[in-house]
């Protein structure tokens, strides 16, 4: 994929969950294309490191804002920050979220509540708030981060896969609603992504299929942004993930659930 500067992008890209993982890699990918960003995370030190790297390496502006998106007031605070500082958002990337592997019975009510709220509510609220701003551009973008797990229920990732199914459904519906307007809505559905040690451990615990379809985060970020600018409504990085999706659609759902559950149990015992 050949990179090129995006001359039609004159505004900022707002990215949630930007201090690490896919969000951080996307911020760096956009900077390499000459696009300024507003990086949101609750990890201030990591945001500072990202900002300094973008400015020193690419000489591109990067605003940072430390917010905990589990706090409902954070959405309007982010919006007000952009308005007060005259930061015009042309790209909105709803990336923040958490994942896990394990039995639903073993997680706490507090953890379950946080997972659902963090994976879903920032996307809904920030999209609602920034839609009028995005409409002011001749061409603007919304990118929501789902997962290949959104296509089928995944035992031992029950809430995670359900939350990603919500993101996929919401994104496809919004894509159709806004298709005749200037806003392109895309949803990315990667398989495993090697981002940090905790994620590597989860991927390894998920078995050979997960390892075969997983990619390094910089490759995933580059493909996602490339596809977003090509106005793809659904973005699935990697040949392995695309092949797996075809198999998932061909095979009966009950068989897939049984296979995934057996695989997860087997690898949980080994680890």
Active-site residue, selected from the candidate residues 160, 168, 223, 226: 160
Q: For residue 246, what are its two tokens? A: 């075809």
Known catalytic residue at 12 = no
Rounded to the nearest 10°, the torsion over CA 266, 97, 146, 13 is -150
The region that residue 19 occupies, defined by phi over 0 for left and psi between -120 and 50 for alpha, beta otherwise, is: alpha
Q: What is the largest CA-CA distance in the chain?
A: 54
Q: Which residues are catalytic?
A: 160
């Amino acid at each position: 994929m050949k990179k090129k500067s995006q001359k039609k992008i004159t505004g900022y890209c707002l990215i949630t969950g930007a201090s690490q993982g896919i969000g951080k890699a996307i911020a760096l990918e956009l900077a390499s294309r000459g696009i300024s960003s507003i990086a949101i995370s609750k990890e201030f030190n990591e945001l500072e490191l990202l900002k300094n790297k973008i400015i020193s390496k690419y000489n591109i502006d990067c605003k940072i804002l430390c917010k905990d998106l589990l706090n409902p007031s954070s959405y309007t605070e982010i919006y007000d920050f952009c308005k007060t500082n005259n930061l015009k958002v042309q790209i909105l990337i709803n990336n923040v979220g958490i994942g896990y592997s394990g039995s639903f019975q073993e997680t706490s009510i507090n953890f379950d509540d946080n997972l659902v709220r963090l994976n879903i509510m920032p996307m809904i609220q920030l999209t609602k708030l920034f839609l009028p701003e995005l409409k002011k551009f001749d061409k603007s973008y919304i990118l929501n981060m789902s997962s290949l797990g959104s296509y089928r229920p995944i035992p031992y990732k029950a809430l995670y896969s359900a939350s990603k199914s919500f993101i996929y459904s919401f994104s496809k519906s919004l894509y159709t609603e806004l298709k005749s307007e200037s806003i392109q809505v895309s949803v990315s559905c990667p398989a495993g992504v090697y981002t940090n040690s905790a994620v590597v451990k989860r991927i390894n615990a998920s078995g050979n299929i997960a390892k075969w379809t997983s990619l390094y985060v910089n490759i995933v970020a580059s493909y996602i942004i490339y596809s977003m600018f090509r106005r793809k409504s659904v973005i699935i990085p990697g040949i392995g993930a695309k092949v797996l999706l075809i198999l998932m659609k061909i095979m009966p759902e009950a068989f897939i659930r049984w296979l995934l559950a057996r695989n997860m149990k087997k690898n949980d015992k080994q680890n």
